[in-house]
Amino acid sequence: MIILHADTNHPTLMKKLEEAGHHNIEGYEQTREETLQNQHLYDGIVIRSRYKIDREFIDAAPNLKFIARVGAGLESIDVDYAEERGIKLFSAPEGNRNAVGEHSLGMLLSLFNRLNKADKEVREGLWQREENRGVELDGKTVALIGYGNMGKAFAKKLKGFDVDVIFYDIKEGIADENARQVGYEEFFEKADVVSLHVPWNEETNQMINKEFIGKFKKPFWFINTARGKNVVTADLVEALKEGKILGAGLDVLEYERSSFESLFSNPNNVAVRAADPVPEALRELMFMPHTILSPHVAGWTVESHKKLAEVIADKIIAEFGEGDAKKE
């Protein structure tokens, strides 16, 4: 098969496909429009998130047999139309779930122990011990929204702590030795920590809003390593001000571009007043001492970079076998 690689990935991906007899085409510099012009030439396409694969794109690719996304979610692809056209879809949540689990735990422990705030103050010559007194994770209830690859990985990381791990998921009967499944009533009553592990779709869009936050019986800590658009930032900021949320660790932001590669549009990826007016909610969030922000890197470790590539290559080869070059 002739496979277009629209984004750069770990070299293992192309190496494994080449060894299996498939032909790789590097299209990293091609615009979406340029790719569309030649899409009839390709049997498969490998993407991250640089551009969307919509109905127009799929219609321009009569020979397309698969779309592979080197990541966990498929929100950049018109999944229904692709499946209607018989196109196989691949993603790789197995490739970065461990990384996401570790990042989530790191954010939570940093928040509990005020590490970012304390570090900044000491570097500025301040030695404020009482103001940086931490709290312990032991004895808390950690509540996960979504129990797929990422939620399960985080629950596994929590096994070493004396915590009660519960989760809510629309799928029934998926509890394991690391967490127990509960209904919303128990979820809202017991949560001390809420961690989000759901995809972004119509059902989850802006699900963390004022109404949702108001249902919890006590203040809680919030972690989001899923998708930024699942959260209404203005409502989150208000809850932080009011003490309904005690602190937040956010690897993703509502204002991210769909490629996940940038927050602002200028080449240096910093805010420019004229081109990128910073939303007021984001501006406030940036200066809150009880928040930790990272640039969508929870699943983007050195190890996961390679593992994501391996998982995608293995799935393509398992489905389509050896290419013509290998058979020769």
Per-residue pLDDT 10s for the chain (328 aa) are 999 999 999 999 999 999 999 999 999 988 888 888 888 889 999 999 888 899 999 999 999 999 999 998 898 899 999 999 999 999 999 999 999 999 999 999 999 999 999 999 999 999 999 999 999 999 999 999 999 999 999 999 999 999 999 999 999 999 999 999 999 999 999 999 999 999 999 999 999 999 999 999 999 999 999 999 999 999 999 999 999 999 999 999 999 876 566 675 554 555 544 455 788 999 999 999 999 999 999 999 999 999 999 999 999 999 998 766 555 5
Q: So what's the pLDDT on residue 51? A: 83
- Which among 48, 197, 227, 254 is annotated as catalytic? 227
Task: Name the residue type at position 26.
Answer: E
256 in catalytic set: yes
Active site residue 75: no
CATH domain 95-297 topology: Rossmann fold (3.40.50)
pLDDT value for 273: 47
Whether 172 is catalytic: no
Give the chain's radius of gyration (CA, Å).
22
pLDDT at residue number 19: 96
| CATH topology agreement for domains 2-91+303-327 and 95-297 | yes
Instruction: Output the pLDDT for position 85.
Output: 96
Q: Which of 19, 256, 261, 310 is catalytic?
A: 256
Task: Answer for the pair 140, 192: CB distance below 8 angstroms, yes or no.
Answer: yes
Domain chopping of the chain, boundaries: 2-91+303-327, 95-297
Q: Is the entire prediction scored with pTM above 0.95?
A: no
- The distance of Cα 211 from the centroid of its chain, to the nearest Å, equals 24
CB 217 within 8 A of CB 188: yes
CB 100 within 8 A of CB 299: yes
Confidence (pLDDT) at 192: 98
Angle at 44 between CA 88 and CA 260, to 5 degrees: 85
CA dist., res. 20 & res. 23, Å (int): 9
Q: How confident is the model at residue 326, as a pLDDT?
A: 58
CATH class of 2-91+303-327: alpha beta
